Structure 1
Amino acid sequence: MTKSGNQEPKAREPKAKWKQETVDKLKVVMAAPVDSCIYKVPNKLRKVKEDAYNPRVVSIGPFHRKNPDLVDAVRECKWRCMLSLLQQTEDENKSHQCFEDCSDAIYDLDDNVRQCYAETIKYDKNELATIMLLDGCFILELFIRYHEAKKEKQGDGDEAKNVIEGDGSDPILKSKWMIAALQHDLALLENQIPFSVLVTLYNIVKPEATISVASLALDFFEPMNEKHIPDELGMDFKHLLDLLHKFYFPKPVPSEPSEISIPVDNSKLNDERSRCCFSLSRKVIKKSDESQTSSGHSSQPDDAAGNDKWGFDYCARELLESGVQLHIPSEKDENLLNIKFSNGGLSIPTLIINKSTSSIFRNLIAYEQYSLSSTNTVTSYAFLMKSLVRYPEDFKLLQERKIIKPHLIGEQEYLNQFKTILDEVVAKDDFCFASVRDQVNQYCESWCHLNKLQVYLKVRFLKEIRDLHNTYFTSTWSIISFLAAFALLILTSLQTYYAIHGPHK
């Protein structure tokens, strides 16, 4: 009995140890962040275009801090920027007090900062506080200097990039290339710090400022449309990428129902007319494709809609040839998501495209893919716009209609940038433009409207004129040959007429 009694506690030891290990693990899980907002990009998305998710010159936050490929000069510049930001006056006591207040405030944010990251942060409290203080001061000083330079040049952002004032030993802030690289890096999903860190530091350093951190940040990034940036914005942002998401892609406005009722199967007559005219339309499109092939342009689309459920069934050129008018809103519309279809016209607000637009879109989409609480607005917008632009001619058409406003980027570069933007992206159920898509697709399949027939005939007439020009008037000699042949035809006709109807003896 004694022997067995001694063995029973020993037998319990492994079980007790296992239970305790399980409890300890559960405690770690309970303490883990549940409202994280800064994620690492999934490998499937990263493999599509890795450069779009990796910083080029500067690391922000803990994820890329030890990246050896980043520019060493920027690491040194961070410390200079922090010194410049904290030394607001020549009074050493005030500067030291500013440093004390900022460091204390950041140090106390440790728990909140860690909850913002989806990955476990391996740095201790002191190291993480250093990262937040250093990166936060660097970002604020960069935003403030950029804003002041733009004000001196009366809002001319391109010239401001060349006159950003700073210490002569900080060439980064005077380099146009470096500013563009910083704009790219600060909009990356993995290269973020909590927005609350920036607000906390800014309120200490600039307690009487009349412009908010959010406004300074939006002023620094390249604009995506002509939306006005107010001096004061709310502070309900998780980080800089979330700020871009909420400012340019707010919650979608419910689509207004189309003013036109589109009957589809009212009668056999309408069915026959629809099939006949639609077949004619497709022949015109096919013929257009063949003419583009002969002129050296690719007749193959860059990509289909990307998903059977999302996007239009027709690209921009096909929509126009099917009787849909493409235009920007009659009144200035600052919401990119206000895409509407009414009375045969598709209204799309202007989108400004530059060399960093593709990277920003990819990171916004990755943010939506990871964040269940985020709306699906950017992903929906990307699907819709990608379905419109499948040929270089689509890009030119939208550019003529001022729907796309390219800045230092051509149609082929646009197609290359956005060709894979939706690869490995999971299409959720909440497509923001389902109503508009259905209205446009149904309108294109029905030929029962006088307005549509007029547009179709006008487009076809203009197309025939273009084909005639491309065939007979592409050079001076072809024009002379055509005129000579036409004159010969007239003279021959006159000779034949007078030979038949001339005076008879």
Structure 2
Amino acid sequence: MGSDQNSVTIDIKQDPWLELSTTIKAKLDKLPRKSSECCIYRVPEKLRKTREAAYTPRIVSIGPLHRGQPHLLAMEEHKLRYLSCFLERTNTGLASYIDLVKTWEQRARSCYQDINFDLTEVEFAEMLLVDGIFIVELLLKSYFPKMNHEDEIFSRQWMAVDVLHDMILLENQVPFFVLEGLFHTIEGNFDILDLIFKYFKPVVPTNEDTMYMLKMSYRERQYNQMKIWHLVDLLRALCITPHHEMPMSKGRGKVKYTPTVTDLHAAGFQFKAAKCVSLVKIDYWKSELKMSPIVVHEWTECFFRNLIAYEHCHKEDKRISSYVIFMDSIIDTAKDVEVLEKCEIIQNRLGEYEDVSNLFNTLHKETITDDNEFLYDRICINLDKNYKFNTVRWRATCHKWKKILDRDYFGNPCTAADKEEQPMTSTKLPRNPFPNPNLRAIQMKEMIERSMPFASPECCIYRVPETIANVNAKAYKPRLVSIGPFHYGLKKYKAMEGQKWQYAGAYLRRARLSVEQCDEAVRKLEKKARNSYAEPIMLSSDVFATMLLVDACFIIELFLRSCLGGQKNQDLVLRVPRLFLDLDHDLILLENQVPFFILEEIYNLSPPSFPTMLELTFAYFKGYNKQNKQPQPEFEIKHFTDLLRKFHIQLAPAPAHQFQRKRMENFSLPRATELDATGAIFEKDSSQCWLDIQFANNKKLKIPQLEINDGWESLIRNLVAFEQCHCLQREYYLSDYISFIKCLAKTPKDVDLFVQNGIIVNWLGDNEPVSNLLHRVCANIVISPSMFYYSGLCEELIAYCKKPWNSYKATLKRDYFKKPWRTATTIAVVVLLLLTCMQTITSISVKK
């Protein structure tokens, strides 16, 4: 009997089906349950593949999803600096904040879709504290400009732009209740919403009036206990209205076709910009489509993509997704965008009309929106139905003839629900993960004290920001020789290393200097030289000093041979034009520099019979010195890129209108051909400074000559990159200049007009490559609307184009008074017409 029982027991243990059931149950028990607080998600892979850069942080990690990635680690010490500033501002101990964050840890963890990330409770709480305070301090510095006077982020515009980009990413968020809790520890008569609205103002795609209405509308809803999950959720809430304010039908029928803007406009439909409290509100009534104005700029794609991703992960109603799909359905070509811009519905700050149409045509790619979730189906169906009516077609014919008459004879006037709030209850931790909070506070204080500034005051040599470099990486990389540490040791530059050592030896013999002498001089300046670079130099002291010495001696000997002559025929580099051109290209690159004080220190060891290092440098780069600036002792430069920038910026005081800098709300400047059509005259200015652009006598636009050849793109790109990385916003002279020229010369016809008037000398061949080049050079560079160098000039040009009389005069002069025989014919016709009128009036008077 016992034997039988034992055999039964063995059979049960070996039953695979029972074992499978037990295994599955164990897995189900371990499966994390999705919390009702979950609101921060990873972007679905299908969406990410369409445009990965729009969802990936550039410079700073917020939250756990991108924490620890190598390219984001440089900002960690800067976040600790912000933490230190915040503690000084609040005059509160670090231990108090650790106690506060400790109570939030479990609830905050449940806000993330991936709750099993590799962070202990203590590490997660530390991340919340550091990242949360970084955001609050960032908002405070943005709201109070006096706080960010010497701040590394706000003093370098490219960094400020990249941080702002990272703040609107769905994967780069912390829960909003954390920000609110930290903000409430600050004393002051200001609201966190005021700080957020000001900081994110450049991102929200609306104009000033609409932004103000959105802000007021949101405040009313916020006071009604509306739930805010995180900053992306808040930005979405800014763009929509509650359900009761926005009656929309959905699920009425499948939309098969929606006419485009140009089709509707040709059929007599009118488009009007409506002032409403919602970006996505669209009304259609009696052939009139009212839409809220939208500003399309560099942020638009990233803004909409992350809101769409958030809706697909979290929201039941997909208002932003529906809006983007509707805009894609009515915008098909650049002509559609042009019509909407003339009707003041779209304000284009992106560039070409085609860029805007391409943007809306690709935004909703791979998004999944069910027919029942599309909110504009009734509007689309009515548009399609009314467009097909015979009466509308008849009206379209009349409208077409009216347009022809207006264009050819009478001028060309322009036509113008979130989830229910969850109760905020604190959950007790099952155990205390902070056995000694004072110890943790001490450790964090030590980290703050050890942290270094993001960049030293001596910093002047930078890697080109990735967003700028990706447009044309070759323009920033050396072709032949590596100078400085950024490209040191790469195989492609090994061939020139022997030549550099030969040049270095030749200079030491020429100057009768010993290696020990020069090495000692370099060692004294090693720390200052390291601080000149924007990132830590991972070279030993010996290697770094040797690199500086060899590179400096190579450059000095090159300059001496080039300027003083004597060995040009025997020197391979100077004798072969291709090599010399490549070397000249490499010496102007921002990433390929050594500090100028290193060159001066080594050069000053030589006999005093030589010219000064500054004079020698001016002589070598004399081809760039169009303004004939002189090497005065007070003329300070940081490196060669800095020198070339100073060659091209203002020598004398700028025209008065260029100092009247004020915020530019409208960057939609008229193109050169549009200005020409209104009678503006283009003239080459005799000034050698690119910046000297004037609108003389309110009619004549005088622009200095710009010579565009094969090397111009690399030159202007590196000068602009240096401005973007190093200079204050008010000193973005070349960035503002090239943006202004790009706005005037958007098309090949505009470039052709500049070439005919001698303003542009085109060595590239056709004019289309020039317009494309100007457009590419301006891609991803930052322009400050409040400090734009040509703001006064832009307002003058826009005002000039808006005066109808200027267009009428230009038309009369072009069509009727261009040639003598046309002038005589026109006068004869006018006289004949007057005589006929007088005869008619006389006949009527006689009959009476």
Q: Does the CA contact (< 8 Å) of 2:747 and 2:768 recur in 1? A: no
Distance 1:32 1:249, change over 3 A: closer
- The verdict on how the C-alpha distance between 1:166 and 1:73 changes in structure 2, with shifts beyond 3 A counting, is farther
> Does structure 1 residue 441 correspond to structure 2 residue 798?
yes
Q: Where do 1:53-452 residues align within 5 Å? A: 53-70=476-493, 72-88=494-510, 95-97=512-514, 99-149=515-565, 165-166=567-568, 168=570, 170-205=571-606, 207-210=608-611, 212-221=612-621, 223=623, 226-230=626-630, 232=632, 234-250=634-650, 253-256=653-656, 309-310=666-667, 313-329=669-685, 332-343=686-697, 344-373=699-728, 375-407=731-763, 410-428=766-784, 429-448=786-805
Q: How many Å apart are 1:352 and its aligned residue?
A: 2.5
Residue 209 of structure 1: how far off its partner (Å): 3.3
Map Cα deviations across residues 51-89 of structure 1 (whole Å, 9 max, x no partner).
Answer: 11111111111010022223x332111111111222126
Task: Give distance in 2, aligned partners of 1:432 and 1:39.
Answer: 24
**1:42 and 2:465 are equivalent in the alignment:** yes
Instruction: List per-residue Cα deviations over 1:304-361 (Å, max 9, x = no partner).
Output: xxx9744x622222222221111123xx423221111121111111223221211121
Normalised TM-score (structure 2): 0.41
CA contact (8 A) 1:252 1:338 kept: no
Give a deviation string over 1:357-409, Cα, whole Å, max 9, x none: 11121122222222253711011001011112222233232223222234465
Partner of 2:638, secondary structure, is coil
Tell me, yes or no, if the aligned pair for 1:215 and 1:229 is still in contact at 8 Å: no
The question of whether the paired residues in 1 share the 8 Å contact of 2:513 and 2:605 is answered with no
Checking the alignment, whether the CA contact within 8 Å between 2:736 and 2:789 is kept in structure 1 is yes
In structure 2, distance between residues paired with 1:336 and 1:32: 31
The answer on whether the counterparts of 1:192 and 1:239 sit within 8 Å (CA) in structure 2 is: yes
- Larger mean CA deviation between 416-425 and 49-58 belongs to 416-425
The Cα of 1:251 is off from its aligned counterpart by 7.7
Equivalent-residue separation in structure 1 for 2:657 and 2:455 (angstroms): 46
Task: Decide whether the 8 Å contact of 1:253 with 1:337 is kept in 2.
Answer: no
Contact 1:334-1:349 at 8 Å conserved across structures: yes
Task: Provide the identity percentage.
Answer: 29
How far, CA to CA, are the matches of 1:440 and 1:31 in structure 2? Answer: 41
Offset at residue 147 of structure 1 (A): 2.2
Letter in 1 for 2:486: F
Give the partner amino acid of 2:691.
Answer: L
Count how many residue pairs are aligned between Structure 1 and Structure 2: 379
Distance 1:47 1:255, change over 3 A: same
Measure, in 1, the Cα distance between the counterparts of 2:629 and 2:519. Answer: 31
SS in 2 for 1:348: strand
Q: SS of the residue aligned with 1:424?
A: coil
On the 8 A contact 2:590/2:722 being kept in 1, the answer is: yes
Q: CA separation of 1:167/1:448 partners in 2, compared to 1, >3 Å: closer, same or farther? A: closer
Q: Which amino acid aligns with 2:787?
A: D
For 1:230, the aligned partner's letter is Q
Equivalent residue number for residue 26 of structure 1 = 449
User: Are residues 217 and 418 of structure 1, via their aligned partners in 2, closer, same or farther at CA, if it must alter by over 3 Å?
Assistant: farther
What does residue 282 of structure 2 align with?
A: none
| 8 Å contact from structure 1 (residues 223, 352) kept in 2 | no
Aligned partner of 2:460: which letter?
C
Question: Does the 8 A contact of 2:462 with 2:533 survive in 1?
Answer: yes
Partners of 1:180 and 1:431 in 2: CA distance: 34
CA distance in 2, matches of 1:441, 1:318: 11
User: What's the offset of the Cα at 1:414?
Assistant: 2.5
Q: Distance in 1 between the 2:765 and 2:574 partners?
A: 24
Alignment check: 8 A CA contact 1:255 1:435 kept: no
**Deviation at 1:29?**
1.1
Post-superposition Cα deviations, 1:245-295, rounded to whole Å, max 9, x if no partner, equal 12211488443359xxxxxxxxxxxxxxxxxxxxxxxxxxxxxxxxxxxxx
Larger Rg over CA atoms: 2
- Cα separation, 2, equivalents of 1:462 and 1:175: 57
Contact 2:624 2:647 survives alignment (8 Å): no
Shift of 1:48: 1.1
How far residue 14 of structure 1 moved from its aligned partner, in angstroms, is: 11
Distance (whole Å) between structure 2 residues aligned to residue 235 and residue 103 of structure 1:
27
Contact 2:624 2:644 in 1 (8 A): no
* Structure 1 residues 316 and 242: alpha-carbon distance in aligned structure 2, compared to 1, 3 A threshold: same
In structure 2, what residue type is equivalent to 1:56?
A: R
Question: Is this contact kept in 2: 1:325–1:346, CA < 8 A?
Answer: yes
Q: Which runs of 5+ in 1 are unaligned?
A: 1-10, 90-94, 150-163, 259-306, 466-505
Q: How big is the shift at 1:222?
A: 7.6
Query: Normalising by the residue count of structure 1, what TM-score does the alignment of the two structures yield?
Result: 0.67
CA distance in 1, matches of 2:583, 2:527: 28
Contact residue 350 and residue 405 of structure 1 kept, 8 A: yes
The residue type equivalent to 1:147 in the other structure is C
1:398-447 Cα offsets, whole Å, 9 max, x none, are: 22322223446553442343331121222223110000111112112214
CA distance in 1, matches of 2:442, 2:569: 59
Q: Distance in 1 between matches of 2:603 and 2:591?
A: 23
Structure 2 unmatched runs, 5+: 1-433, 659-663, 821-848
Query: Whose relative contact order is higher, 1 or 2, with alpha carbons under 8 Å and at least 6 apart?
Result: 1
Output the amino acid matched with 1:328.
K
Which moves more between the two structures, 56-65 or 350-359?
Answer: 350-359
Q: Secondary structure at the match of 2:690?
A: coil
How has the CA–CA distance of structure 1 residues 308 and 144 changed in structure 2, closer, same or farther, with 3 Å as cutoff?
Answer: farther
> Does structure 2 conserve the Cα–Cα contact (< 8 Å) formed by 1:256 and 1:340?
no
CA contact (8 A) 1:354 1:409 kept: no
Q: 1:236 Cα deviation (Å)?
A: 1.4
Question: How many angstroms apart in 2 are the aligned matches of 1:147 and 1:41?
Answer: 30
When residues 359 and 208 of structure 1 are mapped into structure 2, their CA distance, relative to the original with a 3 A threshold, is same
- Structure 2: how far apart are the matches of 1:87 and 1:176? 27
Q: 1:131 to 1:339 in 2, by over 3 A?
A: same
Q: For 1:78 and 1:359, locate their aligned partners in 2 and report how far apart those are by CA, in whole Å.
A: 23
Q: Which amino acid aligns with 1:77?
A: Q
Question: Residues 19 and 251 from structure 1, CA distance in 2 versus in 1: closer, same or farther, beyond 3 angstroms?
Answer: farther
